[in-house]
A = this chain, B = another copy of it.
Amino acid sequence: MPSPLPTFHDVLAAAARIAPHAHATPVLRSGALDALAGCELHFKAEPLQRTGAFKFRGACNAVWALDDATAARGVVTHSSGNHGAALALAARTRGIACHVVVPEGANAAKRASIARYGAQLHSCAPTIDAREATAHAVQADTGASLIHPYTHPHVIAGQGTAALELLNAQGPLDAVVAPVGGGGLLSGTAIAAATLAPACRIIGAEPDGAADTAASLSAGERRIEFTPDTVCDGLRGTLGEPNFAVLRAYQVDVVTVPDAETLAAMRLLWQCLKVLVEPSSAIALAAILRERGRFAGQRVGVVLSGGNVDLDALPWERAA
């Protein structure tokens, strides 16, 4: 039986639950980027969140929502990186064990970060099936709770707290743009905004090379058979079922973006905001620059989701 979809009440509960552990990240502005985009941009700077990404919000909410006996058996997840690090630190804040299944070939900086936060790493082949099988095996062995990176209702509600803070700080916005991979952040954003700013449009930014969300929303059913081909390593996941349901229910729209434009946006963000953003974050600005007409003159929120970049292999150098 599927869990009920999270509500605005769940986002508020998440905000209270994570407040002692998570940072309330700043909202940044740039006159140069406003001029370039032709609109007023309000950047929620989640690279400055603990573990360098919004993922800590959802992981922290899920870990602290467990009852004591369940929590004592630990948590487990499979993750391309940021969620793994986030769950590792969240588990540490509660003093419980954390197991992370990481596909071979994952971003080195992200692997190192997971290990640094004290989680036990389990390698597996880089397929969805192998990840899930390995996670279930760990779960069977240890009794740990599986905290899925983006379908878990407490994860979705936790991710919604970034938009909650953004809208509380900046007042109603005309639109909020967030990246979409599995859909945890985007669905949480839609739930938070629908109550706080009902007129605010929610728009996802998705790589051309992993555009399953755009395809699913357009078809009216999940279309998840694809091989991701994008520099946005945080957005290679497959749109989750509850995430799809939320995005449909809240009439979320998606803009697809070629990697070259994402990398150009990433450089602009580094230069103008002085914050390291990873490609999977920069795509949100790229989507706005690609469709300037839809945002002209408006007040637009942008969720910059994370900043875990491998400094030894800057993406714009790989692309050159």
List chain A positions with a Cβ less than 8 A from chain B. Answer: 26, 28, 32, 47-48, 52, 109, 116, 267, 270-271, 273-276, 307, 311
> How far does the Cβ of A191 sit from chain B's closest Cβ, in whole Å?
26
B116 touches A307 (CB 8 A): no
Interface class of chain A by DSSP? helix
A300 to chain B, nearest CB (A): 19
Whole-angstrom distance from the CB of A204 to the nearest CB of chain B?
A: 23
A32 to B112, alpha carbons, bound, how many Å?
12
On whether the beta carbons of B274 and A52 are closer than 8 Å, the reply is yes
A-B contact pairs, 8 of them (CB 8 A): A26-B48, A28-B48, A32-B116, A47-B274, A267-B311, A274-B275, A274-B276, A274-B307
Distance A28 CA – B32 CA, assembled complex (angstroms)? 24
**Do residues A270 and B274 form an inter-chain contact, with CB atoms below 8 A?**
no
- List B contacts of A28 (CB < 8 A): 48
| Nearest neighbor of A26 in chain B, beta-carbon distance | B26
Contact of A275 (CB < 8 Å), options: B109, B267, B276: B276
User: A47–B275 Cα gap in the complex (Å)?
Assistant: 8
Cα separation A307 to B30 with both chains bound (whole Å): 14
Residues of B contacting A267 in the complex (Cβ-Cβ under 8 angstroms): 311
